[in-house]
Amino acid sequence: MRNFPISFWHLPGLEQRVVWSGSTNRDEAVLAELPPAWRLLMLSDGSATRSLTLLTGEAIAADVKETAVVTEDRNAPPETVMLAKPHLRRTVMLKTVSGTVVSYAVSWWNQQDYETFLANPALPIGTSMKNAQSEYCREICSLFLASGTALDQRFNAQGPYLGRHYVMRHGNRPLNVIVEIYAPAIAYHLDATGWYPRWTNGAPTWNDVDVIAADATVARPDFSLKTLRRTAAGSGGFAELAPRRHSLH
């Protein structure tokens, strides 16, 4: 049973608990509890837009909720201090073309870089960078669990939700800082069991026997994870899986 500390930064209206931080040694026991496909999505330095397109079989569109120049943002990740001012903050919901919400994302930019690299702000960042043939890489800074009624409404689900934040680098400099929180809707695209962190009774924890399938209905007082799968009998019920341990080597 694992207890995770509350993050010292968080998006407005959310509680965030740090699962893993890139600033410290990798906790392989924690990462090993992620199914391999989730580990690849969350820790890969490639394009999230491209990954989501391949997983869902649909193009990904950006529903831009906010674009604003910010002089001070107390809710921003600490890495934004690496970006030259003035800063611009962009908030989007990423959806498939059929309308399924796959993630919620907030990014911080130098305003001039934003105007240069996002010629069409309606496109996802990964699509814009690909169209411009711009080389980039991601430096993953943390994985976290986020909860809040605003996310529940956006995802039409119940939290907590698995997220990450990272620095996107272009050439030898930071280009932007991005926070991505993934919707339960993508769970079955990533893992046959529908693994996704959900609410059950207990303290905020991380445990591979406490993960439940994305479409199960449970109480939601506290964090935990539980893995369930549909029974082979065709009854539509769920049967618990034994803990799965994945080696990172």
Q: What contacts 180, CB < 8 A, 6 or more positions away?
A: 48, 103, 104, 105, 163, 164, 165, 166
pLDDT at residue 23, as a whole number: 66
* Mean per-residue pLDDT, 64-68: 93
d(CA 14, CA 91): 15
pLDDT band at 64 (very low <50, low <70, confident <90, very high): very high
The tokens for 84 are 């030259």
The half-sphere exposure of 206 on its side-chain side, counting CA atoms within 13 A, is: 20
pLDDT band at 40 (very low <50, low <70, confident <90, very high): confident
Among 44-53, 142-151, 187-196, which range has the highest average pLDDT? 142-151
Task: Give 53-70 as a DSSP string.
Answer: HHHHSS-EEEEEEEEEEE
CATH number of 15-189: 3.40.1410.10
d(CA 96, CA 93): 10
The beta strand positions in 149-224, using DSSP E, are 161-170, 173-182, 195-196, 198-200, 212-213, 222-224
* Mean per-residue pLDDT, 235-241: 30
> Are 143 and 162 within 8 A, CB to CB?
yes
pLDDT at residue 211, as a whole number: 37
> Are 24 and 224 within 8 A, CB to CB?
no
pTM higher than the cut 0.85: no
| Whether residue 203 has pLDDT greater than 70 | no
Write out pLDDT tens, residues 8-32: 889 999 999 888 887 665 566 777 7
Distance of alpha carbon 206 from the chain centroid: 16
Domain boundaries, the chain: 15-189
d(CA 71, CA 198): 36
